[in-house]
Structure 1
C-alpha cells in the first residue's frame, strides 16, 4: 500500500485544521511571550521564566525566546533565573484572554551565563531539554519515555574521541557487541542493536554503518530507549541514538585541543565560533581535527581527518536557515585486523592480548564519508513553528577485510583470507514537521505533525578473496605467528569493472525507500500536571538486502503515553509504543506475511534535584516481538515455506543518575538488568525452545564516572576523576551458541585535571587494573573462538585552550 496524493492531502487538511483551531481557541487563555538577552546583547538560552509562587513557567529556547499560558488574572510577578544567578523579577498586571510580551535583559554577559549553565550547575553532565532534532518541544522531565543525553562536557572529561571510544558507559544497559573496530558503532540496548541517527535522520545504510562519528563536530548524543514513532517506526524496537552536531551560537570564541596517548595517539582539534558582519544575522562554526592512532596489536592503525563547516542566516525574527557540511576521511588498517581467532580447545583469550593475524604491508582501507544538511525553521506565530530539512549522505570505501578461509585445527593452524570490501552508499532524506501549542477550554495541547521520506542505496563487492597462506604445511600458526610477507603473497583485486556491476554479482546491494506521516497530540490537564499523549504514524517501506527482491510493508504504529507531575520536580509515566520490520517469506495455505512488530510497554519515574542540577530516572519495560518467521518444520525444506516462530520478549529495569551533586562534584552512574528470551514457539519448531536466551546483551550492566574539582585554596581548580564499567552474565556473543560464555567484565579508569577560564589539562588512565578485556563469539564455520581485545593500561593527555 502506498501513501497516495489524497492521503497526503488529508494530512495537510488535518494540519491546517489544527493550526486554525489553535487560532480559534488561543484567546481563551492568557499568553505571555518574550525574548531574554544578556547584557552584551546575545540571546539568553536555557534560563527559567516563571510566575512567582505558582507552578507556571518555562525555559527559554536556544535563541532566548519563551512562551507560556496561564488562567490567572490580576497582579503577577515574572521571574527570570538560573541556578547560580540572582533572580530578576517584574511586576505585571494581566487580564483574561490577552497576549502580553515581556522582554528581559539580564545583568550578566553571555560568557558569564555560559559559566552559570555549564560550570556551576547542571550543564556539566545533566541536560534538561532534548535537541530540536528530536522534535519534542518540551522538557525531558515531561516526556513519557526514557531518554538519556550524553553532554559535550561529559565527552570532554572522559576524553571520548569517537562514538566507539567508551561513550556508552554513560547510558544504562548499552553494550557493544563484536564489531569491525572503529569502522562503525554497533550498540545494543534492550536485547537488540539500536538504530543510528544524526541530527534526527536515520543514517543506517547497511548492517555496518554509518562510519563512527569523530567527536570534534559532535555537540551531544541523545539515547532514546524503545520505539519512538516521532523519529521513525520501521526498525528494531529497542531504541536509537541521535548524534547532534555543533551549530553556531552567535558568540565569537574558539578552542584548540591537543591530545597524545600511548600506542602512538596524536590528535589535534579546533573549534571556531562567531559572527560575520555587523548585523549579527550571519553566523558560522568550523570544526576540524586530525588524528593518527596506532594499536597494542602490530600492523594496526586508524588515522582520521575531519572538516565540518556550518553557517546559519537569520533571515528575519521568524526565519532561520542553517547549512552544514561534514567530511570524515579514514585511513585505517584492514578492517578485519581487530579480530583474533583461537582454537576451540583453548576457548576465549587463549592467545596473548597483543596477538595479531595481520601481515605487515597489507593495503589499508580508505573511507570518505560526506554529509550535507540544510535546515529551515520558520515561526508561523508565537504558537507554531515549522521545520524543513534535507540530508544528503555519500559514503565511499575502498579496502578489505581479513577472515579465515577454512576451519582452524585444534593445534592452531589456519589459512588466512583477505576479502575485498569496496562499498558505496548514497542517501537522500527529507523531513517537514511542525510543533504547535493551542488550548481547548482548560485543556492545553502540544501538537507535533510531520512527514518523512527517504531513499537509501548501498552496494558492496565482497566476492573477491585471496588466501594469504597455503595448505599442506604453509598454514598460519597462531602459536608461532609470522607477520611478514605471507606465503601466498598479497591480494591484487580486480577493480576494472564498476563497483555497481561487481556488487550485483556479489549479492552486495541493499536498498530502502520509505514514506511516513505522523501526528501527535499531548493533552495537558490541570495546569499541565497530567499529560496524555496520543499519537500515530503510518509508514510505507520497501527494502532489500543481499540483492534479493524488496520486502514491502505498510503499517500503522500507535503511541499512547501518560505523564503525571507529582510536583514541580517529579514525574511518573506510562508508555505504549510500537515499531515494525518488513520481512519476506511464504506461508502454506496462502497465509499473509506480516511485518515483525515490536510492542514496548514502559513505566518510569523521573526527578530533577536541586533545581535541575542533577537528575534520576527509573524505568521498567517489556518489549514483545511478534510475527517473526522461521522455516516451516511441517513442510519439505525445498518448498521454502515459513511459519510464525512464536514470541520473543525482552524485559528489564534501568536506573540512571547524572548531574552535579554538590559544588565541584559531578556524577554519571547507571545500572540495567536485561532479560531477553523466547516465550512461545510454534508447533514443530526445533531451532527454538521456550526459555531460550536471545544473545546480544549483558544481563547486568553497571557504570559510574565521578569527578571532583577543588573549589578554593592553593589547589583550587585541581580535580580528580574515577569510573568503572562492569558487565556480568554476558550474552553478548551473537553468532553461534556455545557452552562457553563470555566471562564477566570489569574496567577501572581514573584521571586528574586542572582548569581555569582559558586552559584545561586532562590526564586519564584507562584500564587501570590492566585487565585482559574483550568481546567475541564462537563461530562454528571456522571451528574457532574469535575475539577483539581492548587496549591494555594506557594513558591519555589533553591540553585545551579557549580564546
Structure 2
C-alpha cells in the first residue's frame, strides 16, 4: 500500500534549451533517463517535467543536428528545480551520425504538437503509429497514394481516383487530417505530396482527443514541414520507370539575424507517366511557411500550400471485362490519347497563434482555409462483352471544394493533492462545401467504333470526341449537386495522473452540433459523445491501456432515391500493451479492439454515382506493430493485423453476416534496413520489404454476390543506397517478382467485372545533396 506522504515526494524540473548564440531551440526531446517521463521544448525553448520523484536523475536532451547533452540533477521533494540555460551545439559529426547511422530513424517517442497532447506515445491510452520523414525517404514514396500504408498495421489503400487517396483501417475509411484539422471531403482535398510532409501520424480509434469528430476506425494526421531555426537546405532529383522525372528543394533558415523570423520553403516538380497506356500525372507543389516570434511567450506561424495536377481523365485506371477480372494485360487503360486532361488547382493555408500563458498553461488558436477547383472528366463503362469490347462513356467532372476551419484550445497542468490533472479544452468549428457538375456525358462508341481491349485503339474518331458545355458558371451547372456541412464542437478532457504518473485516467466529452445540406435536403443534429481511457505503466518501459469512446459523424449525400443519409453512430472499445526495448531503441504495440457502427455507407452497386446505407456493422481485430533499431544500423518496421468486419443489421436480411466491403482479413508488412556505420563502405545501405494481404474483399457492395474474395496480394521490394553527411544516392526496385496485383469486383450496373491493377516491376533512382 502506498501512503499519501509518498504521493507528495515529487517535484518539478524546468529549464530552457538554447543555441550557442542564445537563441531558443524548439522541439528538443527531454527525457528522464531510465524513466517514462519526458517532454519536448516549446517555441521559447522552455520545458517542464512534472511529478519527478525526489532524488538524483540524469536528463538526456537531444535534437537532430545537435550534440546530445546529458545532465545530472538532484531535486528535493515539493520544490521546483530551475536549471541554468542548456546549450546544444550544432555539429557536423552529429549530423553525420544521424544520417549515416540512422539511429532510431524509424521510431518516434512523442506526438507532434498538432495532436494536442503532451503525453509521450507510450503513455497514451490509444494506439498511435508514426511514419516519419526518414522512412518516407528510404522507401521513395511520392504521395499518399503510394506505400505509406504499408508501415502501419491494418492500413490498406482502397481503389483510388488518381489524385484522391482513400485509406482503409479497422473496416472503414480513415479520416484524413492535416496539421490537426479534419479535412475529410467527399472528394478531396488533393492528396498531399511528400515533399512538404514532416511525418504522418496514424491514430487507431476515435478522434476524440483531437477535439474533432471522425471515423471511429481512426484517422491519419499529415504534419507539414515547419521552420526549425537551423539554416540548411536539400535538393533531390529522381527518375524511374514509366517516364518519371521529379525534383524537390527544401530550404530552411532565418530571415532575421536575431532568429525572430524563420522560414521554410518546399518546392516540387514532377512529370510522371504510368504503366497504363496514355495515363499520366504531372504535378508541382509550392509550400512556403513563415514563423514569427512576437515575444518570449507568443509566436505566429503562417503556412500556404499550392498543389497543381494535370492528369489523364479520372477513372482511366479501371478496366472492364465480361468474363472475369485481370483477363487483360496490365497496360490496358480506359482512357483515350486525344481526350482533354483533368486539371486541379489546390490551395490551402494555415494561421497558427501560440501563446504561453504561464509555465504550465498554453493557448493555441489556428485557422485553416482549403480551396480546390477541378476541370475535367471521368470515365466508366456501360457494359463489356466477351470478345473484349468495352462500351466506354465519359462524363464531365468539374468541381469546387471549399473548407473553412477554426480551433481554439488550451493545454495545462493542475495539481490537486497527490493528483496531477493534464487538461485539454477547446472549441472546434468547420464549414465544408463541395459543388460538382456531373450533368453531361457522352458515349465513346458508335456503330463504327468500339474500344476493344484485345486490340486497343486509343484514338477516338473525331465524331466521338466529347464537347462539354461550360458556358455557364459551375454553380449554375451543378444545380442541386451541392454537399455542405457546418459543425461546432466543444471538447473537455482531464488526464488524471496518479502514483508519480504511473496510472493515468482520461475522462473526456464532446458536444457536437452539425447542420448538413445534401442535394437540396438538410438535417440538424446535436450529440454528446463521452470518452474514457486508462493507461498504467507496469515498469519504466511498459504500459497497458484500455479505451472506450463513442462516435458521431454526420454523412453528406443522398441515396439514388433521394433519401438523406443518417449520421454514423457507434462505439469503440480497445485494450493494448506498449513496450520499449533495448533502452528505447525500438518498441512494440499490440492491441485488440471492437467497433460497432450504425448507418455505414458503401457504394451503390446499381449506380456508381451514389451510395447506400447499411444498418449496422461490427469490426473486431488484433494489431501488432514493431519499429525501431534492433541492432546498431539495423532498423525494422514490421506489422500484422487481423480484421473481421461483418454486417450485423440491414434492411435486407440476406446481407446480415456478410463481410463489409473493402477490407482484408489478414495484412502483414515488413521493411528491414541496414546501413554500414564504419569502415571502407561506411554509409552503404540495403533494404528489403514486403506487403502481403490475404482474404481480401472488394470495395463495392455487391462484391459479396460474385467472387466475394480477391486473390491474395504479395509484393516484395528492395533498395540499395549510399550516403554521407552531404550526398546520397538510392535505387529502389518495387514488385521485384512482377506480381499482377489488382482489386475490383463484379459491378451489376455495367453487368461486368471491373478491376484496377497495381504497377508491375519498376524502379526509382534518386540523388540528393544537403547544404
Q: What TM-score do the two structures reach when normalised by structure 1?
A: 0.88
Aligned match of 2:174: 194
How far the C-alpha of 1:223 sits from its partner, in A, is 0.7
Give the SS at the match of 2:383: coil
Check the 8 A contact 1:192/1:696 in 2, yes or no: yes
Distance change in 2, residues 1:761/1:468 (3 Å): same
Deviations 1:700-750 (A, max 9, x none): 101011110112221111111110000010013324233313111000100
Aligned partner of 2:334 among 343, 357, 376: 357
Q: Counterparts in 2 of 1:352-501, with a 5 A limit?
A: 352-404=329-381, 406-471=382-447, 474-486=449-461, 488-501=463-476
Matches of 1:527 and 1:725 in 2, distance apart? 42
Aligned match of 2:60: 80
Aligned partner of 1:141 among 122, 126, 136: 122
Matched, 1:654 2:623: yes
Check the 8 A contact 1:256/1:801 in 2, yes or no: yes
Distance change in 2, residues 1:110/1:580 (3 Å): farther
Matches of 1:195 and 1:566 in 2, distance apart? 32
Matched, 1:623 2:589: no
How far the C-alpha of 1:616 sits from its partner, in A, is 0.6
Q: Which runs of 5+ in 2 are unaligned?
A: 1-6, 559-563, 603-611
Give the SS at the match of 2:159: coil
Matches of 1:249 and 1:71 in 2, distance apart? 29
Check the 8 A contact 1:177/1:732 in 2, yes or no: no
Aligned match of 1:758: 726
Deviations 1:615-667 (A, max 9, x none): 1100100001236699xxxxxxxxxxxx9975421001110111111111111
How far the C-alpha of 1:292 sits from its partner, in A, is 0.1
Deviations 1:339-372 (A, max 9, x none): 11111x2x11001111123211110000000011
Deviations 1:669-701 (A, max 9, x none): 1100000012345xxx43544321111100010
Matches of 1:478 and 1:629 in 2, distance apart? 33
Matched, 1:725 2:701: no
Q: Counterparts in 2 of 1:590-609, with a 5 A limit?
A: 595-609=567-581
How far the C-alpha of 1:455 sits from its partner, in A, is 0.8
Distance change in 2, residues 1:433/1:731 (3 Å): same
Matches of 1:374 and 1:732 in 2, distance apart? 40
How far the C-alpha of 1:49 sits from its partner, in A, is 4.5
- For the aligned residue pairs, the C-alpha RMSD in angstroms reads 2.7
Distance change in 2, residues 1:66/1:697 (3 Å): same
Check the 8 A contact 2:212/2:428 in 1, yes or no: no
Q: Counterparts in 2 of 1:338-357, with a 5 A limit?
A: 338-343=317-322, 345=323, 347-357=324-334
Aligned partner of 2:633 among 638, 661, 664: 664
Matches of 1:348 and 1:644 in 2, distance apart? 27
Give the SS at the match of 1:216: helix
Aligned partner of 2:509 among 519, 536, 546: 536
Matched, 1:734 2:715: no
Distance change in 2, residues 1:172/1:99 (3 Å): same
Q: What TM-score do the two structures reach when normalised by structure 2?
A: 0.92
Matches of 1:585 and 1:187 in 2, distance apart? 20
Check the 8 A contact 1:185/1:210 in 2, yes or no: no
How far the C-alpha of 1:130 sits from its partner, in A, is 0.9
Matches of 1:223 and 1:731 in 2, distance apart? 23
Distance change in 2, residues 1:205/1:58 (3 Å): closer
Check the 8 A contact 2:211/2:426 in 1, yes or no: no
Matched, 1:267 2:246: yes
Check the 8 A contact 2:69/2:88 in 1, yes or no: no
Aligned partner of 1:792 among 746, 749, 760: 760
Check the 8 A contact 1:670/1:703 in 2, yes or no: yes
Matches of 1:38 and 1:165 in 2, distance apart? 38
Check the 8 A contact 1:193/1:238 in 2, yes or no: yes
Distance change in 2, residues 1:232/1:775 (3 Å): farther
Aligned partner of 1:204 among 177, 184, 192: 184
Aligned match of 2:4: none
Distance change in 2, residues 1:391/1:46 (3 Å): closer
Deviations 1:433-456 (A, max 9, x none): 111011100001110000011111
Aligned partner of 1:68 among 49, 74, 95: 49
Matches of 1:53 and 1:727 in 2, distance apart? 38
Matched, 1:778 2:760: no
Distance change in 2, residues 1:563/1:122 (3 Å): farther
Check the 8 A contact 2:102/2:675 in 1, yes or no: no
Q: Which runs of 5+ in 1 are unaligned?
A: 1-25, 587-591, 631-642
Check the 8 A contact 1:214/1:306 in 2, yes or no: yes
Deviations 1:73-108 (A, max 9, x none): 6x6455334599776334446463x43321343464
